[in-house]
Structure 1
Amino acid sequence: MAKIELQGLGKRYGSAQVVHALDLTIEDGEFTVFVGPSGCGKSTTLRMIAGLEEISEGRLLIGGEMVNQREPKQRNIAMVFQNYAIYPHMTVGQNIGFGLYTAKLSKAEKQARILEAAKTLGLEPLLNRRPAALSGGQRQRVAIGRAMVRDPAAFLFDEPLSNLDAQLRAQMRMEIKSLHRRLGSTIVYVTHDQIEAMTMADQIVVMKEGRILQTGSPLELYENPADVFTARFIGSPSMALLKGEVSGGALRVAGAEISGRVPARASGPVLVGVRPHDLEVGAGEPGAGFRAMGLVEAVEPLGAETLTHIRIGEAQAVATAPGRVLPEVGSMVPVRAAPGTLHLFDAASEKALGRI
């Protein structure tokens, strides 16, 4: 296990800067997830940590030692790739033990490590099978087992679940998180799937265009996003954004004045964000907060609740209704949000201003 520190870490390809001076600390034993859209630099950052990409600027420390010039095998880390990278002509046991091929261990010690990893991952009955006879989830566990037997200081995962179906992804998320609890290892995990980030991470790192926008726990990022991009990227379905105006200490949205204390630094044009589970279908009891009428454009019944896609003025939003309530497409419905659930962002900079 090891603490990983990025100090002004950057990457250039010729004149193109793809990762910009990242400063980040990943504590020993922490599960950190890099999340962001394709091309944001998260996989490049992971590959710099692994030693598979040369570092253009800055310093990378693992366990307090600078490793910029060290070869991947000298960094005491193990990487699990998106495509598993297991050998079809080898058995499960041989694949798991492949990382020990050059290790200075006795045959008995190597076998003990293979059996221990297989037991931890539920692969004992499959040790003599070849990858063609395994499911996608089993192949992924084999790839994780091959990383485990090396007893690395840290595990690096590069979108390891993207090739699995939705049900298997959910199962593997819990298996990887459970494995982290048992091993207590430092894990750096890259994904474009914010659900993976929310359900697995101790710390989420949101990236865009090669820069870190915000870091924090899943709940911190969900409750207090620093900007519009983070607000919409974290949370599913995405936060809705309505155009508003702050004048004379009052906020107006969708033709109505919103009651509540407006943050002191808010003025002029603003964007008002509301999450689907804070925006409810129905007029409810009269009171404070946000109230508007919305045109129903689509309905998604999910059993316990119904997601209602509505249009409020020019903006699209998603509101929730009880599971047995199915608003009619094309109808106008009242929606409401309680005080304290609206997020205000500056319309120009898109930076967070506070909540009302």
Structure 2
Amino acid sequence: MATIALDSLVKRYGQTTVVHGIDLAIREGEFVVLVGPSGCGKSTTLRMIAGLEEISGGQIRIDGRIVNDLQPKDRNIAMVFQNYAIYPHVTVADNIAFGLYRSKLSKSEKRQRVEQAAETLGLSHLLERRPSALSGGQRQRVAIGRAMVRDPAAFLFDEPLSNLDAQLRTQMRIEIKRLHHRLGTTSVFVTHDQVEAMTMADRIVVMRDGRILQIGTPLDLYEKPVDVFTARFIGSPTMNLLPANLRDGRADLSTGGSVRVPPSSTKTSEILVGVRPQDLVPTPADSSGLTVSGPVAVVETLGSETLVHIESEGQTLIGSAPGRLIPQIGEHLTLHAPAERLYYFDKVTEKALAAS
């Protein structure tokens, strides 16, 4: 296991800066997920940690040692790629053993490590097969096994589940989390899928345009987003945002009505009031919360819940109802969220409003 520290890390391609001096400290044994939209710099950051991309500024330290100029093979880390990167012409056993190609271990020691990794990953019965005879999930486990046998100080995962179908993604998500619990190896996982981030991470790092917006536990980011981007990126379906004007301690909403706003340090009169669909439900209203009404435009039946899209004063809002409650299209519906489940953001800066 190892600590990983990024100090003012920068990456430029010519005159274009894609990672803007980020700082991040990853603790020993921690599972950290870098998440953000395509082009936000998360994979580039991972590749700099691995030594596959030269850094343009700052430092990378692994277990306190500066590794800026070390080759990937000298950093004692293992990387699992999106496209598996396994060899089709050799067996599963040989693919896993390739991780020990440069090792000075004896043949029997190498075979023992391969068998241990295969057993851990449920691949023991597949060791003599070729990759063409495996499913996508099994191929990804082979790639993980090849990384495991090296006994690295840290695992780096670059969107390893993106080529799998939905069911396999869920299965592999659980398997990787179980593997981390069993091995305790420091892990950095890159994804653009916030569900993967929420379900796998000890801590999540939200990135946008080569910068870190927020770092925290999944619940921290869900409950206390620091800005509009994080609030909408974390959580599914995405958070509803309603424009509002501040007046005498209340926010007059674009959808009609108003809500009381906690005292804050903002000097603007224009804010955004946020509410998550799971908190906007067909329950009796009270004077302290948010109430919206309108005709039902779309119904998404998920079994455990029903997502309801209503049109209110020209804005589409998403609420949630019990799975057995299925409103009709065009039906007029009133949804309510309690005051303590509302979020407030400055409309101009898009930063969360801090209570004073």
TM class, shorter-chain normalised? over 0.9
Alignment correspondent of 1:82: 82
Report the AA paired with residue 333 of structure 2: V
Q: In 1, distance between residues paired with 2:137 and 2:349?
A: 43
In the alignment, structure 1 residue 217 sits paired with structure 2 residue 217: yes
For 1:256 and 1:230, the matched residues in 2 are separated by 27
- Structure 2 counterpart of 1:251, one-letter code: A
In the alignment, the residues of structure 2 paired with residue 335 and residue 345 of structure 1 have an alpha-carbon distance, to the nearest angstrom, of 21
Cross-structure match for 2:180:
180
1:328 Cα shift?
A: 1.7
Residue identity opposite 1:199 in structure 2: T
- Unpaired runs of at least 5, structure 1: none
- Does 2:226 match 1:256? no
Hey, what does 1:277 align to over in structure 2?
278
Name the amino acid aligned to 1:65: R
Matching of residues 28-43 of structure 1 within 5 Å:
28-43=28-43
Alignment partner of 1:280: what SS? Answer: coil
* Counterpart residue identity of residue 311, structure 1: E
Structure 1 equivalent of residue 160 of structure 2: 160
Q: What secondary structure does 1:34 align onto?
A: strand
Read off the aligned partner of 1:187 and give its amino acid letter.
Answer: S
Distance 2:238 2:335 in 1: 17
Determine the C-alpha separation between the residues in 2 that align with 1:35 and 1:142. Answer: 24
Partner SS for 2:49: helix
For the aligned residue pairs, the C-alpha RMSD in angstroms reads: 1.2
Is residue 2:307 matched to residue 1:328?
no
Contact persistence 1:266–1:353 (CA under 8 A): no
Query: Structure 2: which 5+ runs fail to align?
Result: none
2:181 aligned partner, one-letter code = R
State how far apart, in whole Å, the 2-side matches of 1:186 and 1:332 are: 52
Q: How far 1:332 moved relative to its partner?
A: 2.3
1:154–1:185 contact (8 Å) kept in structure 2: yes
Farther-moved stretch of structure 1 (73-82 vs 287-296): 287-296
**1:301 corresponds to which residue?**
301
What is the TM-score of this pair, normalised by structure 1?
A: 0.97
Bigger Cα displacement from structure 2, 307-316 vs 119-128: 307-316
Deviation string for 1:251-295 (max 9, x for gaps)? 22122121463435364000111001000024x154421112123
Bigger Cα displacement from structure 2, 299-308 vs 150-159: 299-308
- Aligned position for 1:171: 171
Q: Is the 8 A contact 2:117 2:148 kept in 1?
A: yes
Q: CA deviation at 1:227?
A: 0.3
**Separation of aligned partners in 2, 1:166 and 1:292:** 34
Aligned to 2:289: 289
Tell me, in whole angstroms, the C-alpha distance in 2 between the residues paired with 1:286 and 1:64.
55
Q: 1:260, 1:288 within 8 Å by CA — same for their partners in 2? A: no
**Could you tell me which amino acid in structure 2 is paired with residue 294 of structure 1?**
G
CA distance in 2, matches of 1:271, 1:313: 16
Answering whether residue 99 of structure 2 is matched by residue 92 of structure 1, we say no
Give the 3-state SS of the residue equivalent to 1:47 in structure 2: helix
Give, as a single letter, the amino acid of the residue that structure 2 aligns with 1:154: A
Q: What letter is aligned with 2:224?
A: N
Number of paired residues? Answer: 354
Distance 1:347 1:314 in 2: 19
In structure 1, what is the Cα distance between the partners aligned to 2:232 and 2:314? 18
Is the Cα contact below 8 Å between 1:34 and 1:190 reproduced in 2?
Answer: yes
Residues 115-264 of structure 1 mapped to structure 2, 5 A cutoff: 115-253=115-253, 254-259=255-260, 261-264=262-265
Deviation at 1:329, TM superposition (A): 1.4
The 3-state SS of whatever aligns with 1:344 is strand
User: Which piece of structure 1 moves more, 249-258 or 183-192?
Assistant: 249-258
> Equivalents in 1 of 2:110, 2:219: separation in Å?
41
Whether 2:14 is the aligned partner of 1:14: answer: yes
What is aligned with 2:312? 312
Taking a change above 3 Å as real, the CA distance of residues 266 and 225 of structure 1, as seen in their structure-2 partners, is: farther
CA contact (8 A) 1:46 1:190 kept: yes
**2: CA distance between counterparts of 1:294 and 1:117?**
56
CA–CA distance in structure 2, aligned partners of residues 165 and 117 of structure 1: 24
How far apart, CA to CA, are the structure 2 residues paired with 1:187 and 1:290? 41
In structure 1, C-alpha distance between the alignment counterparts of 2:39 and 2:260, rounded to whole Å: 41
Name 1:102's counterpart in structure 2.
102
CA contact (8 A) 1:343 1:354 kept: no
Is the CA contact 1:300–1:306 (under 8 Å) kept in the aligned structure 2?
yes
Letter in 1 for 2:131: P
